[in-house]
């Protein structure tokens, strides 16, 4: 007989805009690594390869960075919104100069974060109606 604690409930992953389709275009090894990091987030943890994305006021917007044969792939997600993991963007970093995320990518992430916040608010309203309706 096995003893031990039950696994925590997995938070659902919500893909914003083209993030899932973009991730599907990555090499298999990169998809596996990013997938595992997202699984850790679903469990409420933070994978060692994840860091806060600068410019978003703290650790609520996180970046997974994977290097593969000289190319750099990134996936950005947020845990700011309770009960869910929202994947905001997945992209291959094109610039070889510096480690900074390009401004166009940051602007896209900001717009998708706003969309995630709107979707989350709508989900919470629906959930409240179902629980109390």
Q: Residue 51: CA atoms inside 13 Å, Cβ hemisphere, count?
A: 10
Q: Sheet containing 85-93: which strands, arranged edge to edge?
A: 13-15, 85-93, 71-78, 61-68, 50-52
Residue 67's pLDDT is 94
pTM of the model: 0.88
Q: Reduced to 3 states, what is the DSSP secondary structure of residue 71?
A: strand
CA distance 67 to 19: 18
Looking at per-residue pLDDT, the higher value among 99 and 101 belongs to: 101
């Amino acid at each position: 007989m096995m003893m031990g604690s039950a696994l925590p409930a997995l938070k659902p992953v919500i893909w914003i805009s083209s993030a899932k389709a973009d991730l599907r275009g990555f090499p298999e090894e990169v998809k596996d690594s990013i997938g595992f990091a997202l699984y850790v987030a679903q469990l409420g943890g933070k994978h060692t390869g994840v860091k806060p994305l600068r410019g978003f006021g703290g650790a609520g917007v996180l970046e997974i960075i994977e290097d593969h044969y000289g190319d750099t792939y990134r996936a950005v997600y947020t845990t700011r919104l309770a009960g869910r993991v929202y994947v905001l963007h997945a992209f291959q970093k094109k610039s070889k100069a510096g480690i900074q995320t390009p401004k166009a990518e940051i602007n896209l992430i900001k717009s998708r974060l706003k969309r995630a916040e709107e979707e989350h608010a709508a989900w919470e309203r629906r959930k409240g109606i179902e629980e109390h309706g």
